[in-house]
């Protein structure tokens, strides 16, 4: 039995549902977003409703209905599909999301962490096509990461691989909501960029950035730094350079452990383009251990954009269906 599968990206604010054309995965035959409701029961209903809507659209196109469901979810998901901890999804901690969706949709369901799903997508269809040892670093509100080693996507013993945002890079650093200090994502995420900029503003080193934020240093966020840096402001570029050093520090640590052949930088900040990528690449070259004695490790921007999580979930659902045959 073959047929279409659906990939769903379950984020803190939106649920993105996609069905891709297996012969041309750049082409989505179903692609829509709905708001993420609060609470487990509303969320299961919204996800099941998204699968029903995908069914309606597929059948209207003369296709068979959805055969399997893949979900990339913002949180710590274990291998059995239990959401262990989801700071951005209310009421989902310790919730058996996989079982609930299987019973609501009467279809096979696979659930991954959203960064793991994005890694699958960039490896199979995006920037790291054909690179069987790669690491993805997604710079968002926090940092998500994923790894492919020896041609196998690494999920870890419990499904929790890739929590690289909580590698401690400065034990005396700022406190993290996880309860520790100096986690990598305090410096190298979108929130980290805003914090570095507010520090610069407090020191009088970010006038144009503060102006972008309406003149209030406390309102400075990453997007204001990005806008001022894109306009060529020297102080904003210095903040981006500092930020890029932190991004490169964590990335070089990951490559030191994994001997990855490529680093893919994902997340909304990639839209900054070379303003961000050039200093990340430069600092990465300075920080990576034994850099003169190993093959070059390209640090490249992701190619699939904000749809990567849903695309990876679509790939995982297809794999689930293939494994069942
Ligand atoms: Zn932390």
Residue 278 and residue 162 share a domain = yes
Question: 90 pLDDT exceeds 90?
Answer: no
Structural domain containing residue 96: 6-120+306-324
Question: What's the confidence (pLDDT) of residue 1?
Answer: 47
pLDDT above 80 for 208: yes
CA 194/CA 190 separation, integer angstroms: 7
Question: How much is the pTM?
Answer: 0.95
Q: Compute, in angstroms, the gap from residue 177 CA to the centroid of ligand 1.
A: 6
Q: Clarify whether residues 297 and 193 are in a common domain.
A: yes
Does a structural domain hold residue 159?
yes
The arithmetic mean of pLDDT across residues 123-143, rounded, is 96
Model confidence at 319, pLDDT cuts 50, 70, 90, reads very high
Identify the CA nearest to 163 among candidates 252, 103, 74. 74
- Is the domain of 109 the same as that of 138? no
Q: What is the average pLDDT across 264-274?
A: 95
Supply the CATH number for residue 312's domain. 3.30.420.40
Question: DSSP alpha helices (H): ranges in the chain?
Answer: 40-60, 97-105, 114-125, 184-188, 190-202, 207-212, 222-230, 234-258, 274-287, 308-324
Distance from C-alpha of 179 to C-alpha of 118, rounded to nearest angstrom? 27
If pLDDT is split at 50, 70 and 90, which confidence band does 66 have? Answer: very high
Instruction: Please say whether the beta carbons of 201 and 217 come within 8 A.
Output: yes
Q: Are residues 95 and 243 in the same domain?
A: no
Tokens representing residue 256 in the block: 């030191």
Name the DSSP letter for residue 37: P
- Whether the per-residue pLDDT at 81 is higher than 90: the answer is yes
Residue 59 — pLDDT band, cuts 50, 70, 90?
A: very high
**Does a structural domain hold residue 289?**
yes
Ligand 1 centroid, distance to 204 Cα (angstroms): 28
With a CB cutoff of 8 Å and minimum separation 6, the contacts of 53 are 17, 32
Rounded Cα–Cα distance for residues 157 and 31 (Å): 33
Is the residue at 25 inside a domain? yes
Based on the domain organization, do 93 and 137 belong to the same domain?
no
Query: Has residue 201 been placed in a domain?
Result: yes
pLDDT tens digit string along 10-33?
999 999 999 999 999 999 999 999
CA of 175 to the centre of ligand 1 (A): 8
Q: How confident is the model at residue 226 (pLDDT cuts 50, 70, 90)?
A: very high
pLDDT of residue 185: 95
Residues 33 and 171 in one domain: no
Report the pLDDT averaged over residues 157-178: 94
C-beta atoms surrounding 90 within 10 Å: 15
What's the mean pLDDT in 289-304? 96
Dist. CA 182 → ligand 1 center (Å): 7
* pLDDT at 124 > cutoff 60: yes
**Band of pLDDT at residue 3, cut at 50, 70 and 90:** confident
Q: How far is the CA of 282 from the centre of ligand 1 (A)?
A: 26
Residue 125 in domain: no
Burial 110-119 (b: 16+ CB within 10 A, else e): bbbbbbbbbb
Given pLDDT bands bounded at 50, 70 and 90, which one contains residue 88? Answer: confident
Which of these, 166, 126, 131, 125, lies nearest to 145 by C-alpha position? 166
Q: What percent of the chain has pLDDT over 70?
A: 100
Distance 165 CA to ligand 1 centre (A): 7
Distance 137 CA to ligand 1 centre (A): 16
State the distance from the centre of ligand 1 to the C-alpha of 294, rounded, in angstroms: 31
Residue 108 maps to a domain: yes
Q: Are residues 152 and 265 in the same domain?
A: yes
Helix or strand or coil: residue 319? Answer: helix
What values do phi and psi take at 104, rounded to 5? Answer: -75, -30
Q: Alpha-carbon distance 127 to 305, whole Å?
A: 11
**Cα(179) to centroid(ligand 1), Å:** 6
Residue among 221, 247, 246 at smallest CA distance from 301 = 247
Q: Are 286 and 157 in contact (CB under 8 A)?
A: no
- Mark whether 278 and 229 lie in a shared domain: yes
Residue listed under structure tokens 């994005």: 118
CA of 87 to the centre of ligand 1 (A): 12
Residue 27 lies in a domain: yes
Distance of CA 206 from the midpoint of ligand 1 (Å): 27
Q: Is 1 inside a domain boundary?
A: no
Q: Do residue 153 and residue 223 come from a single domain?
A: yes
CA of 145 to the centre of ligand 1 (A): 14
One domain for residues 174 and 228: yes
Residue 304 has, within 13 A of its CA and on its CB side, a CA count of 27
- The DSSP 8-state label assigned to residue 36 in this structure reads P
Say how many Å lie between the CA of residue 174 and the centre of ligand 1: 10
Indicate if the pLDDT at residue 318 is higher than 70: yes
Place of tokens 């679509």: 314
Whether residue 223 sits in one domain with residue 278: yes
- Distance (Å) from CA 108 to ligand 1 centroid: 34
At residue 265's C-alpha, the angle toward residues 260 and 266, to 5°, is 130
Is there a single domain that holds both residue 294 and residue 171? yes
User: Could you tell me the distance, in angstroms and rounded to a whole number, from the CA of residue 208 to the centre of ligand 1?
Assistant: 30
Tally of domains within the chain: 2
């Amino acid at each position: 039995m073959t047929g279409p599968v659906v990939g769903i990206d379950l984020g803190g604010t939106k649920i993105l549902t996609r069905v891709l054309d297996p012969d041309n995965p750049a082409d989505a035959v179903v692609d829509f977003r709905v708001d993420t409701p609060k609470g487990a029961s509303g969320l299961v209903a919204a996800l099941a409703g998204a699968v029903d809507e995908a069914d309606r659209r597929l059948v209207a196109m003369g296709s068979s209905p959805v055969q399997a469901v893949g979900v990339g979810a913002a949180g710590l998901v274990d291998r059995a599909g239990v959401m262990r901890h989801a700071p951005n999804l209310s009421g989902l901690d310790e919730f058996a999301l996989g079982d609930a969706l299987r019973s609501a949709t009467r279809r096979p369901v696979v659930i991954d962490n959203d960064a793991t799903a994005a890694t699958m997508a960039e490896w199979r269809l995006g920037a790291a096509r054909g690179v069987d040892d790669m690491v993805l670093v997604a710079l968002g509100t926090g940092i998500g990461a994923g790894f492919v080693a020896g041609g196998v996507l690494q999920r870890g013993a419990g499904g929790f691989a890739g929590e690289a945002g909580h590698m401690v890079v400065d034990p005396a650093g700022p406190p993290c909501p996880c309860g520790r200090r100096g986690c990598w994502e305090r410096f190298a995420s979108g929130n980290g960029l805003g914090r570095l900029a507010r520090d610069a503003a407090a020191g009088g080193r970010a006038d144009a950035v503060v102006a972008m934020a309406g003149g209030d240093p406390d309102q400075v966020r990453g997007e204001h730094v990005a806008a001022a840096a894109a306009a060529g402001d020297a102080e904003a570029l210095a903040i981006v350079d500092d930020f890029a050093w932190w991004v490169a520090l964590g990335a070089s640590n990951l490559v030191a452990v994994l001997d990855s052949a490529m680093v893919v930088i994902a997340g909304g900040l990639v839209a900054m383009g070379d303003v961000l990528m050039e200093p990340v690449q430069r600092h990465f070259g300075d920080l990576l251990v034994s850099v003169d004695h190993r093959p070059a490790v390209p640090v490249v921007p992701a190619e699939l954009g904000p749809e990567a999580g849903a695309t990876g979930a679509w790939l995982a659902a297809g794999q689930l269906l293939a494994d069942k045959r």
